[in-house]
């Protein structure tokens, strides 16, 4: 019996890591949805232990020795891509001390639990002690990663979510966005002035809204044998490809926000459920990056979910689930879904004002990680930014201001920019899908989204991480990421 090759041994090691990650994902989902309050400390310790175990497995001397022993020229193209992703994961993990990995896991769990209490109570001061520790540890991680990579501290964290993206490239994209977004937003608001849609009149039951959401999920191809929908304080998509967990949050006085949240998370879920099964336990079988992931959720929510073709399809389902009323008239539903109305809450934001929320968070978190500001400075900077970008006053309103998002509680600094990058990519992907499938919009209007779903499956979902992001985009669309597609999409939908 021949001994397994170095590559085969590495595959076995990463399969073990995949299974550890499966357990961690389920424990994390339970922590955010089902776990009783009193279980948090014990869960935090267990998950910190698991994170250290995974880190030790990934950075063990044997792992590095196996990587050094491989002759990549002897591997098939898919194996070479998998090896590239293995090397990146090991390199990124090796620079991190195990003690810091454990401390971050514990601090993140405690901060998230504090956020659950402090946000409803508008208690920024009560949130600060646990948040300070998360920021302190994130700055230490940024310092270590920046020294190893030879880049700025914030860029080092950004590349955890978007490998290879430089701040120079990001700033070029965002500086262009800053130039045209305020004018487009003002024009869209002015254009819609005096055209206020009829608002849905509740109350709307949670069970009825859930059944409506599940119907739309099935229409979008979600596999309920390998996933489920639940409730959490902050909507998310988690779990693993074979068991995807979505959440939303419901309001009794309004029904479309939860539904759009479900559509958004279903985009993430369909990506996860359709990653290449032959690479399921390996790095090459994972989603490419967070910007690509967000492009899928925003292809569903914004490109498809707010299109007139889809919204008209939605009308009979709304009536069947929630009863008929004037707000559910087809043209009114289109006006509701495409209403531009700057608001305080990012996840509820319309398509045009949403990028302003991302610019605000990007500016604050970058300055925070670089040590240019401290956590005590955030509320004032938030107030100033909301006023400048959206003309809104958030003074004293921490709940709907700097406490509204969960992302900073676990140190996910560098994540927020991927939302707008994802929106830009979604617009470019939709344009490419329309070129490839000229009947796409007509088929959606007829109640058949299969052309879009199959195109995304072939060009994005089943590619996993076999291609790096620039090559994935180029093969799918024929060119590099081009934000002008996003600008054009917004102008055509809201000003055309």
* DSSP class per residue in 433-466: HHHH-TTHHHHHHTT--HHHHHHHHHHTGGGTTS
Buried b (16+ CB within 10 A) or exposed e, 475-495: ebbeeebbbebbbebbeebbe
* Whole-number Å distance between alpha carbons of 260 and 283: 31
Q: Which residues contact 63 (CB under 8 A, 6 or more apart)?
A: 10, 13, 57, 90
HSE-up of residue 118 (Cα within 13 Å, Cβ side): 23
User: Using CA atoms, how far apart are residues 191 and 339, in angstroms rounded to an integer?
Assistant: 10
With 0-12 / 13-18 / 19 or more C-beta atoms within 10 angstroms meaning exposed / middle / buried, residue 386 is buried
Residues 6+ apart with CB under 8 A from 54: 17, 20, 21, 24
Give kind and range of the element (H or E) at residue 161: helix 153-161
Phi then psi for residue 303, to 5 deg, are -65, -45
DSSP-derived letter for residue 262 is H
The answer to whether 265 is a known catalytic residue is yes
| 120, two tokens | 């409803």
With a CB cutoff of 8 Å and minimum separation 6, the contacts of 387 are 393
Dihedral of alpha carbons 126, 130, 131, 136, sign: positive
Of 11, 112, 133, 265, catalytic = 265
CB atoms inside a 10 Å sphere around CB 120? 11
List the structure tokens of 181.
């977004």
The residues that are catalytic are 265
């Amino acid at each position: 019996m021949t001994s397994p090759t170095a590559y085969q041994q590495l595959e076995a090691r990463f399969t073990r890591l995949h299974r550890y990650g499966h357990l961690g994902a389920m424990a994390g989902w339970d922590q955010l949805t089902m776990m009783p309050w009193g279980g948090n400390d014990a869960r935090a310790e267990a998950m910190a232990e698991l994170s250290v175990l995974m880190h030790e497995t990934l950075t063990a001397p044997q792992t590095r020795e196996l990587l050094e022993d491989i002759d990549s020229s002897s591997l098939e193209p898919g194996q070479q891509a998998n090896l590239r992703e293995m090397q990146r994961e090991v390199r990124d993990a090796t620079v991190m001390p195990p003690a810091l990995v454990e401390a971050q896991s514990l601090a993140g769990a405690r901060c998230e639990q504090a956020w659950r209490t402090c946000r409803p109570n508008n208690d920024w001061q009560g949130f600060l002690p646990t948040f300070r520790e998360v920021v302190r540890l994130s700055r230490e991680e940024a310092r270590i990663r920046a020294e190893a990579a030879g880049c700025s501290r914030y860029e080092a964290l950004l590349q955890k979510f978007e490998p290879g993206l430089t701040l120079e490239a990001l700033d070029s994209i965002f500086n262009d966005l800053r130039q045209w977004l305020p004018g487009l937003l003002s024009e869209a608001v002015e254009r819609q002035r005096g055209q206020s849609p009829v608002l849905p009149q509740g109350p709307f039951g949670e069970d009825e809204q859930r059944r409506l959401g599940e119907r739309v999920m099935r229409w979008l191809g979600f596999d309920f044998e390998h996933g489920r929908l639940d409730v959490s304080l902050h909507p998310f998509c988690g779990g693993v490809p074979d068991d995807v967990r979505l959440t939303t949050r419901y309001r009794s006085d309004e029904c479309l926000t939860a539904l759009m949240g479900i559509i958004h998370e279903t985009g993430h879920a369909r990506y996860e459920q359709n990653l290449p099964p032959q690479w399921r336990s390996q790095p090459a079988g994972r989603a490419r990056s967070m910007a690509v992931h967000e492009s899928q959720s925003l292809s569903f929510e914004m490109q498809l979910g707010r299109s007139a073709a889809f919204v008209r399809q939605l009308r009979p389902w709304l009536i069947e689930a929630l009863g008929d009323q004037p707000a559910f008239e087809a043209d009114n539903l289109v006006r509701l879904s495409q209403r531009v109305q700057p608001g305080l809450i990012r996840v509820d934001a319309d398509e045009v004002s949403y990028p302003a929320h991302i610019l605000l968070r990007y500016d604050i978190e970058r300055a925070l990680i670089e040590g240019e500001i401290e956590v005590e400075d955030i509320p004032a900077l938030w107030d100033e930014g909301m006023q400048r970008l959206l003309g809104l006053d958030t003074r004293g309103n921490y709940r709907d201001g700097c406490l509204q998002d969960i992302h900073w509680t676990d140190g996910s600094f560098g994540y927020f920019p991927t939302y707008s990058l994802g929106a830009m990519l979604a617009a470019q992907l939709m344009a490419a899908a329309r070129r490839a499938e000229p009947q796409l919009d007509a088929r959606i209007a007829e109640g058949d989204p299969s052309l879009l779903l199959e195109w995304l499956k072939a060009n994005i979902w089943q590619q996993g991480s076999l291609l790096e992001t620039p090559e994935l985009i180029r093969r799918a669309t024929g060119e590099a990421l081009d934000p002008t597609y996003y600008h054009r999409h917004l102008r055509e939908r809201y000003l055309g």
